[in-house]
Structures are given as C-alpha cells and as structure tokens.
Amino acid sequence: MKKALLLLLSLVLVLSMAVGCSNSEPTTTTESSQTSESKEEPKVEPQYGGTVTFAYTQPFKGVLMRAYYAGEDDDLILNFMHEGFLTTGDDLKTYPYIAEYEQSADHKVFTFKIKQGVKWHNGDELTVEDWKYALEVIAHPDYDGSRYSNVEMIVGVDEYHAGTADSISGIKVIDPYTIEITVKEAQVNTLDNLWSYPEPSKYLEGIAVKDLASHPKVRQNPIGIGPFKVKKIQPGEFVEFERFDDYWQGKPYLDGVIYKIIDADLSNGLLENGEVDIIQIPSSQYQEIKKLTNINLFEEAALAYSYLGFDFGRYDAEKEEVVMDNPKFQNKQLRQAMAYALDRQGLIDAFSNGLGTIIDTPMPVVSWAKAPDSELTHYDYNPEKAKQLLDEAGYKDVDGDGLREDPQGKKFTVSLLAMSGSEIAEPRAQAILQMWKEVGLNAELNGGTLKEFNLFYDLVQNDDPTVEVFMGAWGLASDPDPSGLWRKADSWNFPRWYTEESDRLIKEGVGEKAFDENYRKQVYVDWQKIVNDELPMIYLWSPIDVYAANKRVNNVDANSFTIQKDVHLWWVTQ
C-alpha cells in the first residue's frame, strides 16, 4: 500500500540523493530474470525457523504509526508489523485484502466487511472501530501529520476537522466487522486514496491526538496486525521482530526478522558474508554487488521520476490558481530543443551507474495507464536537431560570441536551479549546463551554487523571480491521476503550466465515464500526448531500484515499490 506516497517530499529527497537510475537492458524493468529462477527453486517444502536480516542505510525515526510516519525508514519497519485493509497489486491497482467491499451504484457509499478473528499483537481482536479510530485521528483538529488528504473525501470530515462536529457523519459502524463509508463525490480512485490502515484503538485509548506521535506506545512499544511483532527497538540503529503466531494468514515461517541500519559503504561486504540478507542497494555499489554469487538481484523501475521544469509564471495564492505570465519559455520549440540537447542516457550511465529508465511522460513505467512509446515523441540525444529547432524558433547567434540571442536579438541566458545533497549533484548539474552550451545556449547555475533541498523548494514554491529551469523529482502514487501536480488550481504545479484541454482531461480521468477502465486509460493516453508534446518539463528518467536478497531466503519477490511482499511466506534454507 503506497497510497500515502503521493507528493511525499521526504521520499523525493531520498530519491534525489540515491538516484538509482536506468538499466541498459529494458527487459528487466518489471521482473528480473533472477526472480523467476528463485521461484522455480522452492520445490522443497518450506521450513520453519531462522532469522532474516533486512538492512537499510539511513537511521530510522521510529514514528511507528501509519498515520504519522514520514519516511521510507519507518515505512520499512511498519511493513513487517502492520497491514492495511486493502492492498496494492504489482499492477498498481487496489485490491481487497483484509476487507471486502461493495459500492453503491452512484459510487458514493462503500460497505466494507472485514475478516473475523484477525488479532492485534497484544491479543485484542481487530474490529472496524480500529479503522474508524484511525480515520478520526487523521481528521482530528490536533493532527499534525500529512495524511489529511487521505480522509478528505469522506462526508462530514470538514466539520470534524474544524472541531464543530463530534464525529464524522460519513462513517457508520454497522457491526464490529462491517463499516459503511460515504464519500462526498463519486471518484474512480476513491479506494486508491482512502486511508485503509487501522490503528489499535483500545491499546491507544485515552492518549490525546497531539501526544500520539511521541507516545511510548507508538515509539517504543508499537503494535500492529502484521506477521511480525516488535521485540526490541534500539533507536536509530535496529529493530528486532519476532514471529506473531496468531497472524491472520497463518504462522510465519521465520522466527524473526532484524531490521538493521547499516552504513551504505558496508553493504557489499555485509551481503557477501551473509550478515545482511536483504537490502535495497545503494546505486553507487551496484557494480560491486552485481558480482556477488550468493545473492539474487531484483531491479525494478521505481514509482518516481526526475525532471527539469520550466517556469511559466506563478501561483496566485488568493485566487488559488496558476498564472502563466512568464514569457521566457513560452516557445515550445525552445523547450523541445533543450530536451534534444540532453544526453539523458549519458547522464544516467555517468552519475547513476546506469540505474534509470529514460521517460518521455510523467507516468510510472509500470503503470497500466502509461501511454505506449509509439504514441509519444521520444526526445533522443540529438544536438543537431536541437540547433535546428533553435534556429527555427529565432534563437540565433547574432553578435558572433558563440552564444545564441533571443528572437529579439537580446542576450539570452538560462539559469538552472539544482539541488545539493549528493556528491554527484554538482558534476551532474555542470554536465547538463555543458550540454546546453554545446547547442549554443548560455546556461548557468542559479546563483552560482547548488541549493540545499529546503531552500530549493522554498524558491520554487514561492515563485522566486530567479527561478527559470529547475531540476526536481516526484514520487508517484499508484493511481495515475495527475491531480495535485498538473492542474490550474494546484499549488504544487511547479512549472506553473496548464492548458484548458489538459485540465479537462485530468478531470475526465476521474469523472463518471472513467469507471470504464478502457475509457480512463484512453483519457490518460490523450493527456500524456499533450504533456509529451508541450513539454512543460523535460522528463529525465525514472530511477531503477535494485534489491539484493541472499539466496538462502526463499519466496522473496519485488515489485515497483517494495520487496516486502508476503513476508510471512519468506523462509530460509538451513
């Protein structure tokens, strides 16, 4: 379940720092060949027992509650100990899991029936009250996490959030296993966005919402309904899990799991000597780890992409809409020329060990809604074409200094805003500038320096006048709906670009007719054709995540967002 991923800046940070990028062989984007091998192996009966060490390379915060956690560090912990009512499949669609559901003909009322006999780690039984409690926590006036948008669609949430109602009128508990949730309007992706993680309402009873995130019951002794329960937490360093025998899908094979924070530089050695079984590897060590014989590698295109955005104007906070009043990059040929001038594969190979897939549309590579490549313009590396387009658009070198002037004959510079964060950030930005210079554009770094992450987004969000082209990254949700980042009304529409047609299609994509999946897909393909041609941002690449798993661990499989699939079925050959 990665619904909550949408727009999480912390994720973007992780991405921009780790930027694992493309693989030269496009065949490995969905499921790697090694995966199928490891699937064939377990002809032998699974065995009980053993412990698996799962490593991560950044210290974790330990906010172990789905409603509050912020980063991947805690997400990975929660994946072992807790589960949601619904689940996301490899194809990024939402499926029933602990809850089955029916919806009314107008798609506004959902009736969920949950499985009976599901137990919390402390022995309490899971009921729909736990779900109601979770929704109420997020909707509470004192809630200061970032998940409000996941409950916003429920009828009566606004009143509850404002403190004028004691309960959320759209949530009706029918019996301990049945709950009815009414949403404000029919949307095809309601279930993709609706918050579906329960919280232990009895266990957390009596704790004020504002104290939850720092309460010992969340930080030191969290409980869930997942296959492993927390045994010991050493803050920032490791978490020890032990098997939860009453897990609703049956007793897990493993005795326990250790979630361990390791130093990224040791991943290679620790994988080799077996101290670490499973890890998402740092892309900088890809070459070394690839040579190890005792591990399987899983390479998956991540739900994220990097881009170079053009600034078209500003966001009018009062009217809550985008105003396209910056003429600098209004010329489509200029934007396309700047895309043709970039050797994206070269950048991926040089700075990300080749771990990235080139994209020409802002859609996850694995999404069912992604437009086929045949329908899109591919902006391959073609400096000659870039020069030709610039000539056509009137950007010519009139004063003979080797740099192009704008069509009015005035000096033309492009300033690139780029983030600091990793040691490759600086050379990579310089390389991009050089590629533009090679086609005659006078490109320079904004302010002469890289900007720290927060300052970067400060400048972009507040439409600082110096912002022209900026290199950002987005994490994506499983649902393809581009709302939130692309519409006229979206404050996170950073290029400050929209067209009536694009807005119409985005609305259509979640409209009434979109309940027909083929129709919805066609809408998104049409929309992608627009943004692919108009190019309000140069789409760079989608990083490829590489997971390594020791061959002794069986039943391990990865998809585009996790390797923690069915962890209760993991078992080790002893």
Partner 1 sequence: MLTYTLRRIAVMIPIMILLSMVVFSLAKMMPGDALSGRIDPTNSSPEYISAMKEKLGYNDPVHIQYLRWMNDILHGDFGNSFIHKMPVSQLIGLRVYNTLFLTLLALFFTYIFAFIMGMYAGKHPYTLGDNMIATYNYLGFALPSFFAGLMAIYLFALKLQWVPASGSIGTGVDVNTIAFYVSKLKHTILPALVLGMLSTAGYTQFLRNDIIESSRKDYVRTARAKGTSESIIYNKHILRNSIIPIVTFLGFDIGGLLGGAVITETIFTYPGIGSLFIDSLTNRDYSVVMTITMMLSIMTLIGNLIADLLYGVVDPRIRLD
Partner 2 sequence: MDPVVEHNTTKIPLNHQKSPSPWVIARRKFLKNKIAMIALVFLVFITVISFLAPYITTEDPAKVNIAKLMKAPSADNWLGTDNGGRDIFTRLLYGGRVSLTIGFIATLNITIIGTLIGAVAGYFGGKVDAWLMRFTDFIMVFPFLIFVIVLNAIFPKSGISALIFVISVLGWGGVARLVRSKVLSEKENDYIAAAISIGTPASKVIYKHLLPNVISTVIVQATILLASMIVFETGISFLGFGVPQTIPSWGNMISPARNPNVIQFKPWIWMPPGIVLTLTILSVNFVGEGLKDAFNPKSNR
Paired tokens of 248: 């609703």
Q: How far is the CB of 165 from partner 2 (least distance, A)?
A: 42
Q: What is the DSSP letter of 554?
A: E
Question: What is the CB neighbour count within 10 angstroms for residue 25?
Answer: 11
Residue 426: name its binding partner from partner 2, partner 1, none (Cβ under 5 to 8 Å by kind): partner 2
Report the alpha-carbon distance of residue 3 to residue 138 in Å, rounded.
15
Q: What is the DSSP letter of 549?
A: E
Residue 445: name its binding partner from partner 1, partner 2, none (Cβ under 5 to 8 Å by kind): partner 2
Q: How far is the CB of 323 from partner 1 (least distance, A)?
A: 15
Measured from the CB atom, the residue of 445 and 455 that comes closer to partner 1 is 455
Measured from the CB atom, the residue of 205 and 263 that comes closer to partner 1 is 263
Q: What is the dihedral of CA 352, 358, 362, 367, to 10 degrees?
A: -100
Q: How far is the CB of 556 from partner 1 (least distance, A)?
A: 20
Measured from the CB atom, the residue of 182 and 422 that comes closer to partner 2 is 422
Our measurement of the distance from residue 306's CA atom to the centroid of its chain's CA atoms, rounded to an integer in Å, reads 12
Paired tokens of 476: 């994506």
Measured from the CB atom, the residue of 104 and 220 that comes closer to partner 1 is 220
Measured from the CB atom, the residue of 335 and 428 that comes closer to partner 2 is 428
Residue 317: name its binding partner from partner 2, partner 1, none (Cβ under 5 to 8 Å by kind): partner 1
Residue 402: name its binding partner from partner 2, partner 1, none (Cβ under 5 to 8 Å by kind): none
Residue 403: name its binding partner from partner 2, partner 1, none (Cβ under 5 to 8 Å by kind): none
Residue 297 identity = L
Measured from the CB atom, the residue of 23 and 267 that comes closer to partner 2 is 267
Q: How far is the CB of 219 from partner 1 (least distance, A)?
A: 7
Paired tokens of 374: 């045949």
Strands 413-417 and 442-445: parallel
Residue 271: name its binding partner from partner 1, partner 2, none (Cβ under 5 to 8 Å by kind): none
Q: How far is the CB of 68 from partner 1 (least distance, A)?
A: 7
Measured from the CB atom, the residue of 201 and 345 that comes closer to partner 2 is 345
Report the alpha-carbon distance of residue 347 to residue 320 in Å, rounded.
37
Residues 6 or more apart in contact with residue 32 via CB below 8 angstroms: 297, 298, 299, 300
Measured from the CB atom, the residue of 237 and 512 that comes closer to partner 1 is 237
Q: What is the dihedral of CA 470, 473, 476, 482, to 10 degrees?
A: 10
Residue 563: name its binding partner from partner 2, partner 1, none (Cβ under 5 to 8 Å by kind): none
Q: How far is the CB of 537 from partner 2 (least distance, A)?
A: 22
Residue 202: name its binding partner from partner 1, partner 2, none (Cβ under 5 to 8 Å by kind): none
Measured from the CB atom, the residue of 243 and 451 that comes closer to partner 2 is 451
Q: With beta carbons less than 8 A apart as the criterion, state whether 529 and 375 touch.
A: yes
Q: How far is the CB of 58 from partner 2 (least distance, A)?
A: 13
Measured from the CB atom, the residue of 430 and 491 that comes closer to partner 1 is 491
The residue among 531, 365, 277 whose CA lies nearest residue 21 is 365
Find the helix or strand (DSSP H, E) in which 571 lies: strand 571-572
Residue 442: name its binding partner from partner 2, partner 1, none (Cβ under 5 to 8 Å by kind): none
Report the alpha-carbon distance of residue 40 to residue 31 in Å, rounded.
14
Widest CA span of the chain, in angstroms?
80
Report the alpha-carbon distance of residue 121 to residue 531 in Å, rounded.
48
Q: With beta carbons less than 8 A apart as the criterion, state whether 247 and 254 touch.
A: no
Residue 422: name its binding partner from partner 1, partner 2, none (Cβ under 5 to 8 Å by kind): partner 2
Which residues of the shown chain bind partner 1 in the complex (CB under 8 A)?
Answer: 8-10, 53, 59, 61, 63, 68, 70, 144, 146, 213-214, 219, 232, 234-238, 240, 258, 260-261, 263, 265-266, 317, 452-455, 458, 461, 491-492
Q: How far is the CB of 451 from partner 2 (least distance, A)?
A: 8
Q: How far is the CB of 279 from partner 2 (least distance, A)?
A: 13
| Distances in whole angstroms, Cα of residue 392 to Cα of each of 294, 336, 337, 506 | 56, 12, 10, 32
Q: How far is the CB of 156 from partner 1 (least distance, A)?
A: 19
Q: How far is the CB of 341 from partner 2 (least distance, A)?
A: 14
Residue 53: name its binding partner from partner 1, partner 2, none (Cβ under 5 to 8 Å by kind): partner 1
Which residues of the shown chain bind partner 2 in the complex (CB under 8 A)?
Answer: 263-266, 282, 284-285, 288, 343, 346-347, 349-351, 420, 422-428, 430-431, 434, 445, 447-451, 455
Report the alpha-carbon distance of residue 566 to residue 249 in Å, rounded.
10
Measured from the CB atom, the residue of 322 and 386 that comes closer to partner 1 is 322
| Cα angle value 470/471/472 (rounded, 5°) | 110
Report the alpha-carbon distance of residue 135 to residue 229 in Å, rounded.
23
Report the alpha-carbon distance of residue 538 to residue 201 in Å, rounded.
46
Residue 420 identity = S
Report the alpha-carbon distance of residue 371 to residue 497 in Å, rounded.
21
